[in-house]
Amino acid sequence: MILKGMDPKSKVALFILIYLLTFFLMGWIFPKIFAMLIAALAIIFLVEPIANIIRKYLKKKALSSGLALVVFYVFVVWIVVALIPPMLKETNTLINFINTFFEKEMWKSAKIFKDYPQVEELIGRIGKLVEPKLSEFLSGLITTITTGVPSGIGFIFFVVLLSVYGVVYFDGLRRNIDYFFPASTRSIAHEFMRRMYGHLQRYVVAVTLTAALTGLSMGAFLKLIGVKYYLTLGAWAFLTNYIPIVGVFLELIPMIIVILPMGVKILIWFVVVTTVVHATAFIVFLRLMQGYSQLGPIAMIIAIIIVTELFGIPGAFIAVPMAIVVRDYWTEFVNPRFEKM
């Protein structure tokens, strides 16, 4: 057999590579099932720290996990019930406003461009490039929302089911995952899987907290200056900040469209607040990820491009976690061999 002449670490590298390729191949062939598993795993990552906090007081693991699940889903249901209905109304109005903005070239009436016709012309050219893609995206979003409700309900049901059972039985699965590797390699495999799990969990928690910070801050600022779409744009900021670097630009496009007609002072305040909020979120993210696997901006952008090409829009959200897995694998198994050559 091919495994006979291999040292334990090489065997672990081979098995992990096979499992990872199988997992991602399954995601490419069965995208809905893959999305359910990823969503459920993300919820498990978020619920576990809550359970650990509760466990400090209750000292019972099963009860702590159960209460953590209740806390998490009560919060989610509250968000859905309290925010989704007004957000849907806002979203419809916002889409109409954006379409009108481009159709009537509303940026021409903005005071900021009166003294700078060259800038106005540049904005017009950018608008002509952006408008078709943005209109296509918005119309596709409306179609997805209206036609995807039945399948969306089924998706949510299975994600909730998987996350509930996952939280209850995930510790057992982590303990038994060693048996997916040859006996002589289990200690190496266990250490690598433990470290990779910690990196992924830390990333999910960090990006969720920073996305929430950004969404709440930008939503509060937009409400303060009188933007009536603040709930939708705040939620949009939260969602897009799950995509590192690239998500910031996606976040700002609709905000700039809404704010441009409001005048120079508001635009300046918007730039200042946006800079402060994102700088703070970036610092918080780095603090939360301190001592854990980190990726450079170029690696993140390349990962987002490649994974989005493979998996579509959902790929943008899982690109960085996948890149973290690849980096951990490279650091543990590939790079040491290069250093010995």
Question: What's residue 269's pLDDT?
Answer: 92
Question: What's residue 246's pLDDT?
Answer: 81
Question: What's residue 97's pLDDT?
Answer: 79
Cα separation, 325 vs 289, in Å, equals 15
- Joined tokens for residue 66: 């159960």
First to last CA, the chain: 25
User: Domain-by-domain residue ranges, the chain?
Assistant: 8-84+149-334
Question: What's residue 264's pLDDT?
Answer: 78
Question: What's residue 272's pLDDT?
Answer: 94
Question: What's residue 290's pLDDT?
Answer: 73
10-residue averages of pLDDT along the chain (341 residues) = 72 90 86 87 91 85 87 89 81 77 66 60 64 60 53 80 85 80 87 89 92 94 91 90 85 86 84 94 84 73 84 82 90 82 69
User: Which amino acid appears at position 235 of this protein?
Assistant: A
Cα separation, 273 vs 209, in Å, equals 18
Instruction: Count other Cβ atoms within 10 Å, centred on residue 309.
Output: 10
Rounded to two decimals, the pTM is 0.84
Q: Would you say 315 and 308 are in contact if contact means Cβ atoms under 8 Å apart?
A: yes
Question: What's residue 122's pLDDT?
Answer: 63
Question: What's residue 214's pLDDT?
Answer: 95
**Torsion sign across C-alpha atoms 187, 192, 197, 198:** positive
Helix axes 186-224, 246-259, angle to 10 degrees: 10
Cα separation, 54 vs 224, in Å, equals 36
